[in-house]
Amino acid sequence: MTKQETFQLEFENHVKEGLSAFPKFLSSKYIYDDRGDELFQQIMALPEYYLTKAEFNIVETHKSKLRKVFNAHGAFDLIELGAGDGKKTKVLLKELVLNEVEFTYIPIDISQHAIDDLTHSLTTLLPSLEVQGEQGTYFKVLERLATYNKRPKVIIVLGSNIGNLEHPQAIDFLKKIKEVMSSKDLLFMGFDQKKNPLTIQNAYADSQGVTQEFNRNLLHRINKEMDGNFPVDNFEHWESYDPETGTAKSFLIATESCEVEIKKLQLKTFFKKWETIHCEISQKYDDDTVEWLAHQSGLQIEEIYEDHQKLFKDYLFKIKK
């Protein structure tokens, strides 16, 4: 079975489980096909969506320092989980290449389309760069990361991807990364920070409705790939943010009752009016929470980088001594 076939089977099993549960759920990681990638590019360009701009500012401001930190032990493998379009990473890659740092870039993403586009664009932008793209989910790829032990590894996870995990899952994720790290390896990871609740709410419920179409792409994919009949226009996006826990949640809500049949899965499921599908969490953090997560995972914070507007932070971790 190919990687793509394995991933498709995982998607189908997830849909069957999520739409048979109460309350219903579907993971946002399955939003990303060609259309999902395109919509996320639009989201990142929205004025309300501060995350990409803030982290871009961090990488641009600290690129020289990061180059020296990453290259402290000589040649290394730069492994990026959730590479996407690589907009922020390209700033760092250019800094490394122009300063003749010896490294291999290994971008990993759930979307083969994203990997192909990124690899193609880097061939044009930085023709001397060695790129080894891989498609897959984080946890599957992490199992393979253990084989990259010939030289130090720098693992980067940008864009607050860890925010899509609840704290116990986040600790498990960090532990899995720690297990493939040596004492010379580094982890550079983004964490969106707690801030004005309205700023967060608006970032995930934009005035143009792009985020709604992005979340609805889950239903479009099910209809297209599994012969489903979701009445997509009858599902509205809803975002809620709890400033006490720092948890933002995204839902699709049925505005009318309906029965959905997914022929490939031999599944029928009924939605009452206003019934929800929980699609995503986006956790927000402060330094104390990140330090606690690191401690629970066997890691320690080496350094913290913050954008000019103090909206977002990237943390540098090593294995706890």
Per-residue pLDDT tens for 68-99? 999 999 999 999 998 878 889 999 999 999 99
Give the separation between CA 219 and CA 276, rounded to whole angstroms.
Answer: 13
pLDDT for res 247: 95
Identify which of 101, 102, 118, 122 has the alpha carbon closest to the alpha carbon of residue 110.
Answer: 118
Give the separation between CA 294 and CA 274, rounded to whole angstroms.
Answer: 39
pLDDT for res 92: 97
pLDDT for res 197: 96
Per-residue pLDDT of the chain (321 residues; tens, 9 = 90+): 787 788 899 999 999 999 999 999 999 989 988 899 899 989 989 999 999 999 999 999 999 999 999 999 999 999 999 887 888 999 999 999 999 999 999 999 887 888 889 999 999 999 999 999 888 777 777 777 777 778 999 999 998 889 999 999 999 999 999 999 999 999 999 999 999 999 999 999 988 999 999 999 999 999 999 999 999 999 999 999 999 999 999 999 999 999 999 999 999 999 999 999 999 999 999 999 999 999 999 999 999 999 999 999 999 999 998
Task: Provide φ and ψ at 279, rounded to 5°.
Answer: -105, -30
Give the separation between CA 211 and CA 238, rounded to whole angstroms.
Answer: 10
pLDDT for res 142: 75
Coil, strand or helix at 98: helix
pLDDT for res 136: 79
Are residues 58 and 90 in contact, defined by beta-carbon separation less than 8 angstroms? no
pLDDT for res 134: 86
Angle of CA points 49, 248, 53, to nearest 5° = 20
Give the separation between CA 221 and CA 227, rounded to whole angstroms.
Answer: 9
Q: Give the CA-trace dihedral at 178, 246, 41, 64, to 10 degrees.
A: -50
Give the separation between CA 106 and CA 86, rounded to whole angstroms.
Answer: 12
Give the separation between CA 291 and CA 285, rounded to whole angstroms.
Answer: 10
Give the separation between CA 28 and CA 8, rounded to whole angstroms.
Answer: 15
Give the separation between CA 191 and CA 238, rounded to whole angstroms.
Answer: 23
Task: Provide φ and ψ at 58, rounded to 5°.
Answer: -60, -50
